[in-house]
Structure formats: C-alpha cells, structure tokens
Amino acid sequence: MTVKKFNLPDVGEGLTEAEVVAWKVKPGDTVAINDVLCEIETAKSLVELPSPFAGTVTELLVEEGITVEVGTAIIAVSEGQEDANGTAPEAPAAEETFTPVYGKLTAEAGEQPAGGPLVGSGPKADAVKRRARKRPTGAVVEAAGVAENAEGAVQDNQAVLAAKAAETPVPQRPTAARPVVEPVQQASSAPAVQQPAATRGAAISGTISGLVNKVLAKPPVRKFARDLGIDLADVVATGQRGEVTREDLVSYQAQRDAEHDQADTFWGASRKPQDQRVERVPVKGVRKATAKAMVDSAFSAPHVSIFVDVDASRTMEFVKRLKVSRDFEGIKISPLLILAKAVIWAAARNPSVNATWVEDADGKGGAEIQIKHFMNLGIAAATPRGLMVPNIKDAQDLSLKELALALNELATKARAGKTQPAEMQGGTLTITNIGALGIDTGTPIINPGEVAIIAFGTIKQKPWVLDGEVIPRWITTLGGSFDHRVVDGDLSARFMADVAAILEEPALLLD
C-alpha cells in the first residue's frame, strides 16, 4: 500500500497561499480521479480541487478555515488493493508527495501525464439541460425608470448556472472563447431534444439564447415573491430543474428577517467596556487581495478624475426596443450594454486609454507604455465575497448581441462565486456600475495594470434644457479616473466626450 500526499497547487494565477474552505471528503472515503476533494479560497475566487489519483482517504492534513502556502500537503490518500480477507498487504507503506499539473497534457495516448493525471478535465456529473421557454407574443414593455440602470448590476441567474454546469473546466489561456450565438426558435411544436452532458458546444448553443438571465419559477411562486417583495434573481434555486421553489422564498425571507434582527441588536450594551464591543474580522482572501491592489494602484498611479452629465434618453429608448426584439429574446438588456459598446468604440478613437504603464521595461530602469490593440473589458462586480473584476476577453470583436450574452454570463458567474482566476487576469479597461446602487457618480480607483476606469452613475429623470426649453430627460453622470502618467487631461476629456456621445445617440455605433 502506498500513501500519497497531495500538495496545495498553484491553480494558475501565481497563487502563493489559499484557505481550505470546505472538505468534500473525510477519512475512510474512497475517491476516484477527478473527484472533488475540497474547496479553496484564493485571492479572487473559490476553486474546487479534484483528486489527482484514486484510493482511500487516510488523513485530512489541514483543517477547514486554515490558510496554507502553496506546496503544503493537505490530504493523504492510500493506494493499494486488499487481500481476500479484507486486509491490506503487510508491506510497509511508502509515502509519495504529489503536486498536480494543471492545463498541461504531457502524457502519451492512453497514459497518465508525467506528474500524474490531468485533473479537473472531466464534465460535471450534475449537468442540467432544459429547453428554452417561449415568451408570449406582444410582451408588455416596462416603463423606463430609475431601476433601468440597476439592471446592469451583477445579477444571480439560476438558469444560466444550470446550463453552464455542462461545461468542461477550461485551462488558462490568453483569450477566452466567445459565446456561441444562434437564432432563437420562435415557433416549434416539437420538444427540444436533450443532448449529452459532455457536448459543451451543442448544449450551450441550443439553450443560451432562451435561458440566459431567465429565472425559472411557477406562477404561484412568482406571485408569492411579488407579495413578499423579493426579486427572484436574488434567490438561490434548489428545484430539481433549477427553478425557484416556495421553500426557497421562505428560506430567503427568513434570512432577510434575521439580518434585520441583527441590525436591531447590532449595538453592544453600553454597560460593557468599549474594548469588549469591538468585532475583529481577519483580512484574508478577496478582501486581502483587494486591499493590496487598491493601495498599489492609489499610491503608484497618479489619479486624475473628470465627470460629465449625459442625456441618456435615447439610450433608454434603444434599450426598450432591444428588449422586445426577436433577436434579443431571452437576453437581459440594460443600459450597461450600451455603455460597454460606447467604451469600446471610444477607446479605438483614443487608444492610449487602453494601455499599461510598465516600470523598468528594458531592465535598465526605463519605463514603457504598452498600448493594447485588444479590449479585455473589466466589469467591477460587488459579490458576497467582496469586489471582483472579471473581464470579457477580446470584447472589441463581439456584436451587440454577443456582448449582451457575455455580460450576462459574467454577472451570473460572479454572483455565484464561480469566476475563475483566469477570467480576472489581463484586463485592459474597467467599468464600475455604481448606478445600480442608486449612486450618481464617484472617483473610482484604477484597476492595477490599467490606466482608466469609468464609473456609470444611476439614470434618473431630471430637468434638462433642450432647444431652449426645460423638460424632463433621463440623465446620468459618468465619472472617469485616469493614470496621469499615460493619459493627459486633453485625452481623458476627448475619451469621456466620445463615450457620452454614444449614450446620447446610440445610432453613432452604426458608423
């Protein structure tokens, strides 16, 4: 019998340490290759660690909640067969330490890779596939309101999670594949045929248009949610087909009530000394990484911020038209989509905003400005685990519909805590949608490695002078922060004016 120890690996993001959040196995359990052993929390995401070998778990070497460095042994698994009496051979156990190879296929056909099998490459067993539901014709268009801009906020979406469960984890690479887009079937009497879980492309292309950003729930459940004032997109679904159930709503309401109760009892009793009324929260994981990144950016890049008020009334009208368009049926559309297109368009006219300042580029102390001829568009997402900035790779190549699908997928994965480290690397320019929280504007801190970030304020009706008359219009405020080492005042002003021009007249995107 051989006892193998599994070392905490670098999962592809330059990881130095991680916290063991939850073990999925216990001593005595039998595991196969690719069975999930545990969840770890890195600086930016939750990652499932699959087993690189088969055998029996003999010992968990690290307790839950403990942070360990890369290369530390975290679990021991024994390999070997028992004899006829059910006892293992008496040969002394030999210990081997194993660190898996992620994203490298070094084995010959039919053999395991030279340091062990390639883990994390199999399809998930709990894949769920559903056919898209048809929307009734003549759908009522919602009136544009303050909440329009909030639709750009990161939203939970159980339907997309179900469809994405069929995907195979993808090794890190410079660019991510674009979403597969196919026409939506408007009329079909035959039910959709389910496809094998392992066929990633077919599963996504057949369901993405109809499932993206649709929350499944029965009519009585929807009515119950309305009565409680609950947004179904905020509820974690536990139904067999990924739908929100009445029990899910009851559980969510109980959680909200508990939070309110906590607010009522937040203040400590004044009879206790003040030093006993201080809560100490360890800084780790996402919060630790965010703190370091923000300090590095704020004190290395000289920030300059400018603001512009924009009449976004035509953007609101355009969004309403897209919502009832057949081409965009089943896809969540918000003003954030138009802003994203505007930023891409404006960056092409002002390339230096899509760049990086590199210190000591030549190894002799000489700095360098690297202008990126591609757009990895970052979207700042406030999640329960903290701030994340996943980005859409090669966003400049996406059509309006493809960009909408990419934004929906990004938002869903971020809210579910499924964003992978590779999806947060290589960003070139970032948007932060503070308007989703009802905020007018702000001075955002530039994401490290970039030179510009745009804050998208809330859209609401305000008095506006148009052709000499004061009339109500849908107004928003854009705030931009720029690295003054790269972006001068003139360039930042021209870039912001170009972005504003698209929001004022989206038809300019047709040029």
The residues carrying an active-site annotation are 484
392 close to 410: Cβ distance less than 8 angstroms: yes
- Read off the tokens for 368: 């360098």
> Distance between CA atoms of 62 and 158, rounded to whole angstroms?
32
In angstroms, rounded to a whole number, what is the distance separating the alpha carbons of residues 442 and 456?
9
The count of residues in the chain is 511
Sign of the CA dihedral running 369, 370, 373, 376: negative
Residues contacting residue 370 through CB under 8 Å, at least 6 positions apart: 355, 356, 358, 361
Q: CA–CA separation, 40 vs 49, rounded Å?
A: 7
| Collapsed DSSP state (helix, strand, coil) of residue 79 | strand
Short-list 171, 173, 5, CA closest to 75: 5
**HSE (CB half, 13 Å, CA atoms) of 461?**
6
The label of the residue with tokens 């894949």 reads 127
Q: What angle do CA 233, 132, 137 make, to 5 degrees?
A: 90
Of 217, 266, 301, the closest CA to residue 481 belongs to 301
- Sign of the Cα pseudo-torsion (504, 332, 451, 303, in order): positive
Quick one: CA dihedral 252, 255, 259, 264, positive or negative?
positive
Q: Cα–chain-centroid distance for residue 30?
A: 33
List all residues 6 or more positions away from 209 whose beta carbon is below 8 Å from its beta carbon.
Answer: 132, 181, 182, 183, 184, 329, 330, 331, 405
The b-or-e profile of 238-266 (16+ CB within 10 A means b, else e) is ebeebbbbeebbeebbeeeeeeeeeeeee
3-class SS of residue 411: helix
**How many helices (H) and strands (E) would you count in the chain?**
10, 19
d(CA 63, CA 413): 27
Burial, 87: exposed, middle or buried (Cβ in 10 Å; 0-12, 13-18, 19+)?
exposed
Strand blocks (E) in 221-317: 303-311
